[in-house]
Amino acid sequence: MDLIERINQHFLDSITTFDEVRDLLAAPAAAAAERMVAAMMSDRKILCCGNGGSAAQAQHFAASMVGRFERERPGLAALALTTDTSALTAIGNDYDYDLVFSKQVRALGQPGDVLLAISTSGNSANVIEAINAAHERQMNVIAFTGRDGGKIGEILTGDDIQLNVPVERTARIQEVHLLLMHSVCDAIDLILLDGE
């Protein structure tokens, strides 16, 4: 297979994945947007975490809330737990890397806040610990996962929302996660700005 064919195949695989999961994920994405709006309208905040590409997506989501997505509006309270290098390295060094998010959740999270937890495998130990901390703090959890949902799917409660992309390839999961985040951002703006 030459490079052009291979690149074209990525597009086709991505299109197929989006088509396969669209109906499955629209309702939980809408519920996630409504949950986040309810929290922010009650002066609560969204804490976001993930590793690697998921860390970048956590930061992207938080930036879209604090700044804007596509329309002008006041900034919304969101914080990526992946950006404070001093906290991350101190916690990782003094305690354990598995605790880099959960210690921040326990320090910053309040009842009614939302934890946006992102893990393509559903098995990221530090994201699992963050979810456990969020439950302790009486926070809502919205989990973006992949494959079979992993251990995260097993620890979510009835009040949590899972957006699971049931495919194997990490790249496809991350592509769908990004579209879901953009869809949630758009839905938040629609609810807040248009009253829908």
Q: Is 183 annotated as a binding residue?
A: no
CA separation for the pair 94, 44 (Å, rounded): 30
Q: Is 174 annotated as a binding residue?
A: yes
Strands 114-119 and 161-165: unpaired
Q: Is 121 annotated as a binding residue?
A: yes
Residue 1's alpha-carbon distances to 7, 10, 11, 125, in angstroms, are 10, 12, 15, 38
Q: Is 93 annotated as a binding residue?
A: yes
Q: Is 10 annotated as a binding residue?
A: no
Give 152's contacts (C-beta < 8 A, 6+ positions apart): 117, 119, 122, 123, 124, 127, 128, 131, 143, 145, 162
Q: Is 60 annotated as a binding residue?
A: yes
Q: Is 119 annotated as a binding residue?
A: yes
Q: Is 92 annotated as a binding residue?
A: no
Reduced to 3 states, what is the DSSP secondary structure of residue 167?
Answer: coil
Annotated binding-site positions for Zn(2+):
60, 174, 182
Annotated binding-site positions:
51-53, 60, 93-94, 119-121, 124, 174, 182
Annotated binding-site positions for substrate:
51-53, 93-94, 119-121, 124, 174
